[in-house]
Structure 1
């Protein structure tokens, strides 16, 4: 179809979309074109109505497409019809009142309190600088809820040991202070002592490799994944799982939602509220296990 080609040229030359994005749009539109021509026998874009679009949505869901995939395809189709309206090639947008399927909310993975206790209190991390550093990384994620990028970005001056405070730089360079307790303070002091003794050259970064250079994200990810594998069989075993564990533990122990929001560095409560669903799911599990008539 000539219209389809003109639309893709518009995306490429006027909107400056990448080749990969244009291929996705083209694939979605081609799939819809085949549907209207073969399934409902409609020959042109102007003859499409909202009922045809709804039928397409149902056919995609029947084929096993997720809500996320269907909504992405609808987004491509919406862009096409907006383009056609601007060119006066049709008068009514058939997607004007179309609502896509709701995406399922995926609850964040987290470790239970007992699993974290086993990891920090019963797991043998070994001896020496690397073992001490790796254990502190796990403990700091769990005790403060900081992001991977925030942990890597910590400098020595950002760790106020007497005041038990971390100064972290989060998204959009927004800084915040995170308090920590005596247990983490003791681990930090132990790490700092070994670091001072063994490092001949220091970069100013708080967490470093054996050569004194800062850590990188892949290394920290592997440290966390390797150690979480010792106590859990979760599919996800990433630094973010420990951030989820921090938030869930705080709420399970009656922390205020607003306080957890500030500690995590979320810009709005909606991002933090997902953990209330997590804790409720945990309550349901406890209920089913404990109540005799559940």
Structure 2
């Protein structure tokens, strides 16, 4: 007996409704499955028993081929999977043709980078002047941007890993791999000031907790960055945002990929190449999100 695809889709939507699915969900499923039915009809497929894996795969390829977003293709595949699984459960087909099919890989989100103006604002207005932690917070922020350190690398620094005369840090990265990271004159000065009031032993951690008994924690570094960003009027800033900004600004200023790779401790240069996708326009957009009236005042 022929199982008409249109009738099966209507029955499936009724089934979803009986399960209490929202109207929004059922409407979207019907739209996606109607699209699928139209494709199958063009291929001469009108019986659900004729739907096979190849037909579904080509259907997805056709969606991407006309320029639809990968997220749309993934959503349509989800609708088709639900439909064919239901057909199999009901006994209309003997095997589910969608099993094993994978949707298109989602585009990897680009790391966020702050604009130069935002970085300047964060470093100058972020640390709370007059507070006991002012010098520490300022050094933490400058280090994460100026040296591109990960949080774990920052809190793992000992004073015997800081070579101020050579303006170099010996950093333990992932897998305890050591690398040398250069620092600029401003960072050297901040280190000297911090050393004069905290360093009692060359093997001691550079950053200790408020009680001075143990290393600074990841959570504390997160709070330092969040508080500083809030005071500077910035939102969505994390410690890793500063590392992203460091890499992006280095590349924008002509630093070779290999140099940035070595400085940040990336095992693969592909990780570093991601920063090439963060254009000046994207950084400008990030700036305008925080300063929406900037264009009224000046050309960026």
Same fold (TM over 0.5): yes
Match of 1:189 among 181, 187, 192: 192
What is aligned with 1:49? 53
What is aligned with 1:162? 165
Tell me how far apart the structure 1 counterparts of residues 129 and 190 of structure 2 sit (CA, whole Å).
15
TM-score (norm 2): 0.62
SS in 2 for 1:176: strand
What is aligned with 2:239? 239
Alignment CA distance shift 1:100-1:138 (3 Å): same
Q: Does 1:125 align with 2:128?
A: yes
Q: Does 1:206 align with 2:206?
A: yes
For residues 168-219 of structure 1, give each alpha carbon's deviation from its aligned partner in whole angstroms, at most 9, with x where no partner exists: 11112211000101100011111112224xx8x9982111112221011111
SS in 1 for 2:165: coil
User: 1:244 Cα shift?
Assistant: 0.6
* 5+ residue gaps, structure 1: 1-34, 59-63, 78-88, 290-294
Alignment CA distance shift 1:260-1:122 (3 Å): same
Tell me how far apart the structure 1 counterparts of residues 237 and 77 of structure 2 sit (CA, whole Å).
28
What is aligned with 1:259? 259
Alpha-carbon RMSD across the aligned residues, in angstroms, is 4.1
CA contact (8 A) 2:70 2:105 kept: no
Alignment CA distance shift 1:149-1:71 (3 Å): farther
For residues 252-278 of structure 1, give each alpha carbon's deviation from its aligned partner in whole angstroms, at most 9, with x where no partner exists: 211111111111111122111111110
Alignment CA distance shift 1:231-1:203 (3 Å): same
Match of 2:145 among 123, 137, 142: 142
CA contact (8 A) 2:74 2:104 kept: no
SS in 2 for 1:186: helix
* 5+ residue gaps, structure 2: 1-32, 38-45, 64-68, 83-93, 288-294, 296-300
Tell me how far apart the structure 1 counterparts of residues 140 and 169 of structure 2 sit (CA, whole Å).
14
Q: Which has the larger radius of gyration?
A: 2
Alignment CA distance shift 1:68-1:161 (3 Å): farther
Match of 1:177 among 169, 177, 180: 180
How many corresponding residue pairs?
227
